[in-house]
Structure 1
Amino acid sequence: MLDNQALNLSSPVLDDAHEGDIRGAFGTIRKQDTAPRKTWGARLRTLLAIMGPGLIVMVGDNDAGGIATYAQAGQNYGTSLLWVLLLLIPVLIVNQEMVVRLGLVTGVGHARLIFERFGRFWGAFSVGDLFIVNCLTLITEFIGIDLAMSYFGVSPYISVPISALLLIAITVTGSFRRWEAFMYLFILANFLVIPLAIWSHPHAGPVIHDFFVPHVQGGLNSDALLLIISMVGTTVAPWQLFFQQSNVIDKRLTPRWMSYERADTVIGAFVVILGAAALIIATAFAFQGTNLAGAFTDAGAVAKGLAEKVGPLSGAFFAIVLLNASLIGAASVTLSTSYAFGDVFGVKHSLHRNWRDALGFYVSYTILILISGGIVLIPHAPLGLITTAVQALAGVLLPSATVFLLLLCNDKDVLGPWVNKMWLNVVSSIIVGVLVMLSFILAVTTLFPDVNVQLLTVVLAGILVIGLLVAGLLYYRQRGKNPTYPESEQDRMTWRMPPLSTLPKPVWSKTRKLGMILLRGYLLVAVIMLIVKAVQLSLGH
């Protein structure tokens, strides 16, 4: 049972550990602190205390898979794909800002909201898929740990268990502040990519040009298109939605701190893109004109290549960056799963609680870490198949995750005066549509490598444009009168979603029902294709 007795009955928060003083790594804000921040110094101190969830979720997304993807982009295509990163900044900000609003206003995790507002089928599907994808993603993080430490001659039978114990130790301390402080150490290590880029002796002209002029070195082909999609997929991941919404709740943030958490998210978006750009620049200029240009194999080989072409220190720094990315990625992905586990099964789930007081939360975290790390140590484990499965399953999950996010942010019973504005709906609908299209392409091409990617992209782009126009027309015709909500800024800052049990059941329009049927059909076909492909790969075809 959750400790609801200690909560105000008007509060939507499900766990009393989620209410109280904000205790961040760089400061504390008392619950009763309502004083306005009038000076820049006061605002900066408040930002430092609140910052964390947005920065951690963004940097955590530059995980082992992200490091490998960006290194591949630089090694195989030079700096010609930097423009993709620039386009991803608004995508990251829009997606995660919607999650921030959901967390601060509702006080309820993403998984629970989906269960309550979309029913058990969609709730079970979303959370079940999240568990599977996160478990497979976590295995790839341990693969990254293995590759990084192997560069230094450390056996995986040493590096993987020690890393697993470290990940468990920094999470079960019973202190949100201590956990966040550990995450900041990982974030700080992320900036080692800057000297990596400098040591490769980059030229400013090509870098600036490739940031703002979309093109592909050697011309656009199916391989380049797939890499672009992979860059999008590794930067915009479904687990981010679940993690940040639960983490801002766990940090005890409310709508009063909306502007600060938005700033945290924006800063995080620029930091993650800076790191990704530095990796592309480093590998692009390090391998330019050498026999390793266009010859990417894996992240471990990149470290060895940098040591050969730039110097041993460069190779060591890349290995450390890979190790750090794998650790923060593993910590974030696993915690998003444990948060969702707590949401679904009603167990206490907060980093403010010690392990005795939140045993189910910490046990689920520990089991996931141990199982994933153990799989990497199994001789002849199908690690290549697992890596492929992560991409395909993420492609299957992303459409439903982004669709649910947009619908929840337009649910007036849930967000009240904080629902999306019209312009944001237009922008987010385009972003969601593009993400759905790209994830579908990634899933199809993963399952059927011989498909004509360019033709598939053109056809889906046409369908997307038509779909967005039709959806816009239907929305315009069916829009209803908005209920009355607080208009003053002070009233908006204190508005919270009522307890979930008191909300009226959502009324589904014919358009929404049709959309959910189409989404269910897409997911059914995608899962069947994935199962067929897995069987083929397991049989050696």
Structure 2
Amino acid sequence: MKRSATLSSKIKSTLKILGPGLITGASDDDPSGIATYTQTGAQFGYTTLWTALITFPLMAAIQGMCARIGLVTSQGLTVTLRNHYSKPVLYLMLLFGFPAITLNIGADIQGMGAVANMLFPTIPVSVFSVLFTGMLMFIIILFPYQRIAAILKWLCISLLLYLIVPFMIKQNWALIARNTFIPTLHFNKDFLSILVAILGTTISPYLFFWQATMEAEDRKHSKKIMVDKQVLDDMRKDVNIGMLLSNVVMFFIILTAASVLFPAGIRQVDTVDQAAKALEPLVGRFAYLIFAVGVIGTGFLGIPVLAGSQAYMLAETFGWQAGLDEKFPQAKPFYISIILSLLVGLSLNFIGISPIQSLLYTAILYGLTAPVLIGIILHIGNNKKIMQDKTNSTLSNILGGLTFLIMTAAAVALLYFQFT
């Protein structure tokens, strides 16, 4: 009885500290990410399952640095860049970041609309896309930060749906374990392209900005004056749990496609609605519904993070009044930038840019900016003028340096594949 009460107390205390890290990690598995992971499993079967083990520590290290920067400085990453680094670096991040985020938003809206159309075929995809965009604008503008954060936390539950499907069919768990813990590499264009896509999808620059800003916002709301060991420990747990959830979901989406689509000879999945359609005759309507509902839930989770991170980047660059707690009249430029990013993303549905094209362009832009930004984050994390006595640990620097090298190699590979 005593042990049960202790366990219950530990669970409650853990749930209490979950916040920006959980939301950031969960939002990484947006409809665009789901499409990428599904294509990975469909094309290469179980051979890429090991990537989830590699990306987890890399994501946790970089997001942990960003979170610490937000906590210590009480500012977003953009403000830190503006105050301590040359303006061309900041403007370069904005130049490459904005198109990538907008294309990502467009692909997610399109994916949500297409999946909803499968559930209700009499209503066109465009109608659902407009409806979802309107709902997102309403939620972001009307609700304060704490309410939005609570909504996003509950939407994280939708990700758990993807853990169900692999258990609905007979699995060779020994083969799955072998491919999870023993990496397989094929040195050809298709396989290396998929690895680059996975890295670009999981370690995305917009998440760095969102994490730092949300930690600063969260600190402001909790009225924590001192960033002591307890605050840093809580942040670390929050980030690690969020990144773990993200990678577990990634693992199970790849596993679903590898165990259902790959054996059926389905090698090409360009969109999330194609993935859902392919699942239905092979696993059943229940699995198809799980996949479809999960896409819509993750869209409502991921798009506010995308649009919000872009708006904060702009506001922090140009000194606008910003914050999801602010009323529209007090932060007009901030909210107008969110509205515009959603509307431009929505317009991609009507000008002939397909989701797969959007994802390709997004991956290129993320791939080019991520190594530069990771290098800067590493520098900030070790800068005592900024971080005081809260600089990076040796482990953080090792993992961060490894992430920098891998993402640089991915960027070079990405450019090589596009131009040769």
Aligned amino acid, residue 103 of structure 1: G
Residues 1:233 and 2:200 are matched in the alignment = yes
Of 332, 340, 354, which aligns to 2:313? 340
Residues 1:151 and 2:123 are matched in the alignment = no
Of 226, 230, 235, which aligns to 1:261? 235
Quick check: which one's helix share is greater?
2
Residues 1:184 and 2:153 are matched in the alignment = yes
Of 278, 292, 299, which aligns to 1:326? 299
Larger gyration radius, structure 1 or structure 2: 1
The 5-angstrom pairing of residues 398-477 of structure 1 reads 398-445=370-417, 447-448=418-419, 451=420
Residues 295 and 386 of structure 1, relative CA distance in 2, 3 Å threshold: closer
Aligned amino acid, residue 289 of structure 1: P
Shift of 1:383: 5.1
Contact map agreement 1:104 1:248 (CA 8 A) in 2: yes
The 5-angstrom pairing of residues 46-445 of structure 1 reads 47-152=14-119, 153=121, 154-216=123-185, 219-252=186-219, 254=224, 255-256=227-228, 257-292=231-266, 294-378=267-351, 380-381=352-353, 384-445=356-417
Residues 92 and 72 of structure 1, relative CA distance in 2, 3 Å threshold: same
Aligned amino acid, residue 267 of structure 1: I
Normalising by structure 2, we get a TM-score of 0.91
Answer with 207-216 or 89-98: which moved more. 207-216
Answer with 363-372 or 253-262: which moved more. 253-262
Contact map agreement 2:57 2:399 (CA 8 A) in 1: no
Residues 410 and 278 of structure 1, relative CA distance in 2, 3 Å threshold: same
Question: 1:215-267 CA distances to partner (integer Å, 9 max, x unpaired)?
Answer: 15xx5422111111211111110001000100111112652321111101100
Task: Indicate the SS of the match to 2:388.
Answer: helix
Once residues 430 and 342 of structure 1 are traced to their aligned partners in structure 2, the CA distance between those partners, rounded to angstroms, is 32
Shift of 1:299: 2.4
What is aligned with 2:3? none
Contact map agreement 1:200 1:282 (CA 8 A) in 2: no
Contact map agreement 2:161 2:290 (CA 8 A) in 1: yes
Shift of 1:419: 1.2
Contact map agreement 2:271 2:355 (CA 8 A) in 1: no
Contact map agreement 1:99 1:245 (CA 8 A) in 2: yes
Percent sequence identity is 21
Aligned amino acid, residue 179 of structure 1: I
Contact map agreement 2:41 2:255 (CA 8 A) in 1: yes
> RMSD between aligned alpha carbons?
2.0
* Structure 2 unpaired stretches of 5+: 1-5
Contact map agreement 1:174 1:355 (CA 8 A) in 2: no
Once residues 309 and 136 of structure 2 are traced to their aligned partners in structure 1, the CA distance between those partners, rounded to angstroms, is 14
Contact map agreement 2:70 2:76 (CA 8 A) in 1: yes
Aligned amino acid, residue 140 of structure 2: T
Normalising by structure 1, we get a TM-score of 0.71
Question: 1:433-470 CA distances to partner (integer Å, 9 max, x unpaired)?
Answer: 1111112212331x22xx3xxxxxxxxxxxxxxxxxxx
Answer with 283-292 or 179-188: which moved more. 283-292
Contact map agreement 1:63 1:328 (CA 8 A) in 2: yes
Shift of 1:328: 1.7
Shift of 1:406: 0.7
Aligned amino acid, residue 425 of structure 1: N
